[in-house]
């Protein structure tokens, strides 16, 4: 009888620990008031980034914003495809958080394309080329 109680107690402790883990680590991040509703939360080591993009048909360009977990704007400019292809039109501007190379200076799309800020195109292209094995050094 005491043996069954010990086993039951261990099961209850493990169950409570699992619930606590889910409650603490599986919460949706709190969206700051200045972050647009369409922004996608991107988990990073120190919190979350908020990323959003729109296609400007007149300029044939993608305008994207990256904000930190407090809502401070890190980038708010035209982003260009890393692959040097054409701008991504609105239906394909689906941001994904599921990528091994997420960062605070690039946006990954569900279709596999990566957008980078035009102001950092040269250095980010070198870095991503290195990351993808296309260069020996960054």
pLDDT of residue 98: 81
Q: Tell me: the pLDDT tens digits for 41-93?
A: 999 888 999 999 999 999 999 999 999 999 999 999 999 999 999 999 999 99
In a domain, 67, yes or no: yes
- Other Cβ atoms less than 10 A from the Cβ of 107: the count is 29
The helix (H) or strand (E) run that includes residue 99 is: none
| Structural domain range at position 82 | 40-131
Can you give the pLDDT at residue 102? Answer: 78
- Residue labelled with tokens 């094995």: 133
> Does a structural domain hold residue 3?
no
pLDDT digits (tens, 9 = 90+) for 110-126: 999 999 999 999 999 99
In the chain, how many domains are there? 1
User: pLDDT higher for 29 or 40?
Assistant: 40
In a domain, 33, yes or no: no
Specify the higher pLDDT residue, 22 or 125. Answer: 125
Confidence (pLDDT) at 27: 61
Instruction: Answer whether residue 30 is part of any domain.
Output: no
Q: How far is CA 132 from CA 83, 98, 108, 114, 124, in A?
A: 12, 17, 14, 12, 12
What does pTM read for this prediction? 0.78
Q: Is residue 127 part of a domain?
A: yes
């Amino acid at each position: 009888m005491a043996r069954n109680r010990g086993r039951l107690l261990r099961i209850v402790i493990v169950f409570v620990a699992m619930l606590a883990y889910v409650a603490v680590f599986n919460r949706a991040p709190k969206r700051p008031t200045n972050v647009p509703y369409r922004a996608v939360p991107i988990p990073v080591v120190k919190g979350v980034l908020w990323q959003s993009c729109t296609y400007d048909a007149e300029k044939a360009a993608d305008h994207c914003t990256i904000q930190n977990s407090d809502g401070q704007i890190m980038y708010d400019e035209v982003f260009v495809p890393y692959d040097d292809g054409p701008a991504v039109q609105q239906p394909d501007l689906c941001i994904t958080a599921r990528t091994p190379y997420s960062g605070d200076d690039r946006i990954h799309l569900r279709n596999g394309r990566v957008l980078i800020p035009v102001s950092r195109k040269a250095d980010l292209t070198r870095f991503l080329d290195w990351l993808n094995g296309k260069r020996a050094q960054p």
